[in-house]
Structure 1
Amino acid sequence: MLEVSLAVRWAHASLMGKILAASWNYWEVFVREIELGKLSRGAAPEKIWMKQQFSIGVNDTTRVLERMPRAKDIPECSMPSESKNESSVQLQALLVASDCGSKWLIKHFPSLAYSRGVPLISIADNKAGSLRLGEVVKLKTAIAIGVKANGSGINKFVTNFLERRCLTGQGGE
C-alpha cells in the first residue's frame, strides 16, 4: 500500500510548530470530496470550478497569501502595510509538497502562512508529493495548492480534518 504522509503545521500562534500526521485514508477522502464537488458544480466548466475552489501553483498561492490581511495575533514587524493589496479571497488551508526537489520554491510558505493565520498541510510521498497534488487538480504536478474559503463541501472536510487532528492530538514528526 502506498503511504502518503500529511502533516499539518498550525499557523495559529498557540499551536505553531505542532505537527499532526494523517493516514492515506484522509487523502483518499479528500480526493473523493473534490470529486463529489465536481459533480455538484452545475453548469460551470471543470477548469473554472477548480479556480473557484483552489489557488493552484506556487505563484498563484503566494499571490493570494500576500494579498490576505495579516493575522490579528501576529505582532507587527517592520514590514510595510499591505492594506491596499488586500483581496476578498481567503485561504482556509495551504497544501504543499514538502518532498519536492526545489525546496527554495516553498521555503517562504511556512512564514507567510503563519503571518496570515493559514494552516500549512505538508504532503510527502517519497518524492511524489507534487504528483499527488497534481492528481487532485488534474495536472501532472503541483507543488502548492491553496484551499479557498468559500463554504463548499471541501471546506467542511478540511475544517473537520483540522479540528479532529487537533482535538485528538494524533500525529508526530
Structure 2
Amino acid sequence: MRVKNRNKNSVVPQKSSTDHIFQPPNSYEGESLLHLLNSIQREIRSARLADQSLPHKIWLKQQFSIGVNDVTRVLERMPPVHGFISSSPQNAVYRSRNAKQPPIRLQAILIATDCNPRGLTKHLPVLASSREVPVIFVKDKTGGSFKLGEIVNLKTAMAIGVKARGNSINKMIDGILGANDCRPISDAT
C-alpha cells in the first residue's frame, strides 16, 4: 500500500498489517502435523495402558489442560519466571491457602490457528511467554481444532496444555521441543 506524502512528487511506502506476518518456528502443518499428532496419540494410548486406575476422562484431565479457558487458568496460576509476585493482600491469602499444593506447570501448549474469532487464543502466546512455556501452533486450513480435539477425544479443541508430570508423554514432548528448538515466543521473535 502506498500513501502519497505532502509533496505530490514523492511516494512513501507505508506498512500494511500483512507486511510483518510472523511465521513462528514451532508451527506444524501438512505431513509434519500428521506425524506430530499421530506420535502424541500413540504415546497417550501407551501411557493409558500403563495406568488404568482412573476413568479415561479423569486421567486425561490429569495429563492435559483442555480448552482455552482451562489453559489460561493454569498459566495464570503459574508464577511468572522473572519473579514478579503481586504484593496485594488477596494474593497473600490465596498463596497461604494453597501453600500445600504447588501450582500445576505446563510443559507446552498446542494452539490451533484456525479458531474463529482469532482473538480467542491471541492472549495465550504472550501469557505462555511470561511463564516460559513453549507454544506449538497447529496449522491446518481444514480444521486444526478438529485435529487437536481428536487427541483428547473431543470434537474440537482450540488449545491443549500438556501438564508437566514426568511421564512418558512429557518425555515425548521434550523430544519434539528439543528436535525443533521450540523456545518461548519472546525468544523466537
TM-score tier (shorter): 0.7 to 0.9
Residue segments in structure 1 that go unaligned for 5+ positions in a row: 1-16, 168-173
Shift of 1:124: 1.2
C-alpha distance in 2 between matches for 1:95 and 1:123: 7
* Structure 1 residue aligned with 2:5: none
**TM-score, normalized by length of structure 1?**
0.77
C-alpha distance in 1 between matches for 2:127 and 2:169: 23
* Structure 2 residue aligned with 1:99: 114
Shift of 1:80: 4.0
* Structure 2 residue aligned with 1:50: 60
* Structure 1 residue aligned with 2:137: 122
Residue identity over aligned pairs, in percent, reads 46
C-alpha distance in 2 between matches for 1:68 and 1:94: 14
C-alpha distance in 2 between matches for 1:21 and 1:132: 14
Q: How many pairs does the alignment contain? A: 147
Tell me, yes or no, if structure 1 residue 60 matches structure 2 residue 70.
yes
C-alpha distance in 1 between matches for 2:113 and 2:167: 26
Q: Which amino acid aligns with 1:57?
A: G
Shift of 1:104: 1.0
Partner-residue secondary structure (3-state), 2:26: strand
Please point out which of 136, 141, 146 is paired with 2:161: 146
Asked whether the 8 Å contact 1:134–1:140 carries over to 2, the reply is: yes
* Structure 2 residue aligned with 1:7: none
**TM-score, normalized by length of structure 2?**
0.71
Residue segments in structure 2 that go unaligned for 5+ positions in a row: 1-22, 183-189
* Structure 2 residue aligned with 1:4: none
Shift of 1:18: 5.4
Q: Which amino acid aligns with 1:121?
A: I
Q: Which is higher, the Rg of structure 1 or of structure 2?
A: 2
Higher RCO, Cα 8 Å, sep 6+:
1
Compared with structure 1, are the counterparts of its residues 96 and 158 closer, same or farther at alpha carbon in structure 2 (3 Å cutoff)? same
